[in-house]
Amino acid sequence: MRDFGVGFGYLLRGQKWVAGHGRWFGFGLLPGLVTLVLYVAALTGLGYGADDLTAWATPFADDWGSPWQGLLRGALTFLVFALGLFLAVITFTAVTLLVGQPFYESLSEAVDRDEDGEAPESGLPLWRELWISARDSLRVLARVALYGILLFAAGFIPVVGQTVVPVIGFCVSGFFLTEELTAVALQRRRVEFKERLGMLRGRRAAALGFGVPLVLAFLIPFVAVLLMPGAVAGATLMARELNGETPAEDADEAGAPAPRRTDADSRLG
């Protein structure tokens, strides 16, 4: 539980960092707003079409009497929409980070400079960084899709499918959400995808402490946009620890005051 608290502490510290650096907060909102419009439209369409999709997928239940047909299709409709949310949370971050790559790179660098006066650079051209980010996001999506299919199938198990499976889904989403966010800082340090996964598996509880609360918050669409700048800032602080640049943080440090304002803000004017 302590390591879970450490991860949550990094999330809070990131939000406090952007609250103390208001220009960076506004700067980091722009990519999320663009992505939000697209995702709200997609989830609205799914919400209207989930019933029809469930009915099409279960023709064997057409002759079932009440209440069994309604119970089956109601449960499956819930699972379809839950799966859509599950994928939306992960892909929202990936798409937002891809759209806002220059924005979040700059924000992450500002956090690094605020910590020790310098920010590691990958030395790669922007097009190459975008390609690596897109490639790694597809790797994450493939893993999430596999877990999603397995969890969807497990959703048919009575009781377990409506209780345990959603909890596991949130944990899977939280872990990979943390990977996506810490990747912003770790890619600048030339840390490869498999190595990043290894780092997070070694600190699984901390990764869940950072990612699961975000997943829950991201279920409210506009909250996802508001929290993204602070999530990138907090993930940068967490990445510094994962990479051995700073000692492990105590969960209590989440209550520490926001970092002082430095020259990092001058880059925005």
For 8, the token pair is 């949550």
How open is the CA angle 145-100-83, to the nearest 5 degrees? 20
CA distance 181 to 214: 11
Half-sphere exposure of 143 (CA within 13 A, CB side): 16
Residues recorded for the chain: 269
Q: How many other CB atoms are there within 10 angstroms of residue 61's CB atom?
A: 16
Contact 206, 9 (CB under 8 A): no
pLDDT, residue 259, reads: 43
**Averaged pLDDT in 10-residue chunks for the chain of 269 residues:** 88 94 83 83 77 76 73 77 73 80 88 86 78 85 84 80 85 91 91 92 94 87 84 94 75 43 44
CA distance 189 to 122: 6
For 128, the token pair is 């190459």
pLDDT, residue 182, reads: 94
pLDDT, residue 128, reads: 82
Q: Which DSSP symbol is given to 63?
A: T
CA distance 269 to 265: 7
pLDDT, residue 255, reads: 43
